[in-house]
Amino acid sequence: MPDAARGEELGTESRATRQATGRERHAILRDLDPADTRPLEKQLRTQVGGHQSDQRLVAAAVWMQQQLAGVPSDCVLRELPFAAKFAHDGAEVFVDGAADLVFFKDGVWTIADYKFSDGPPDELRRRYAFQVAIYRAALFDNDGQPRFGAPTGAGPVRLLIVRCGGDGQALEIPLPDTPSLGDTAREVIAAARELRKFQRATDD
């Protein structure tokens, strides 16, 4: 995930502080062992700083453990990096990043993106559906065939935003699967062109 999208709480903390907290949470979630039988509180306590009191992190960790129960480790990919080229209307844009969690369970691929937020589901969909669509297009072809090394083949792709609230609860916010690479490429190019216009305007 782009760094700017990490750390979603609104409050008095600076943007840089929220982003640093988000990166730390993602690193902890990457390193937690879903097969560890110890209570989650003990696992989090072993992390630097004792994060068992971070309710947003607890929400994400509990949800992850529940989802990955019984899933073979080679069917779980956390912080999965990607680099993809999107082409449309004579233009090309290269995008790289990392998907928070990708796993294969019961014949279905899931791409999950953590948001440490209490924002309304519709707002989170509006803000981040495009980001998750980029993950979908970069990691899978139109038929659900993984573009990365995977122990299994094609399958339906489930797209989720996982809202990790300050109350320690995780809420799944489903997104429609958008298998059309052409549609995503068009949006990526359009966004890149708008960014270029903005940069040129600020340079003048």
Q: What is the pLDDT of residues 43-78, one digit of tens each?
A: 776 665 555 578 999 999 999 989 998 899 999 999
- Tokens 């990607």 map to which residue? 82
* pLDDT tens for each residue of the chain, 204 residues long: 444 444 455 455 677 888 888 888 998 899 888 777 777 767 776 665 555 578 999 999 999 989 998 899 999 999 999 888 877 777 777 888 899 999 999 999 999 999 999 999 999 999 998 889 889 988 998 889 999 888 888 899 999 999 999 999 999 999 988 655 456 766 776 776 666 665 566 555
E-strand ranges in 10-148 read 76-88, 91-105, 108-115
Q: How far is CA 57 from the centre of its chain?
A: 14
* Domain residue limits, the chain: 3-203
pTM for the structure as a whole: 0.80
Classify domain 3-203 at the CATH topology level: Lambda Exonuclease; Chain A (3.90.320)
Please provide residue 177's backbone torsions phi and psi, each rounded to the nearest 5 degrees: -70, 135
Any residues with CB less than 8 A from the CB of 38 and at least 6 apart, and which? none
Angle at 103 between CA 164 and CA 148, to 5 degrees: 125
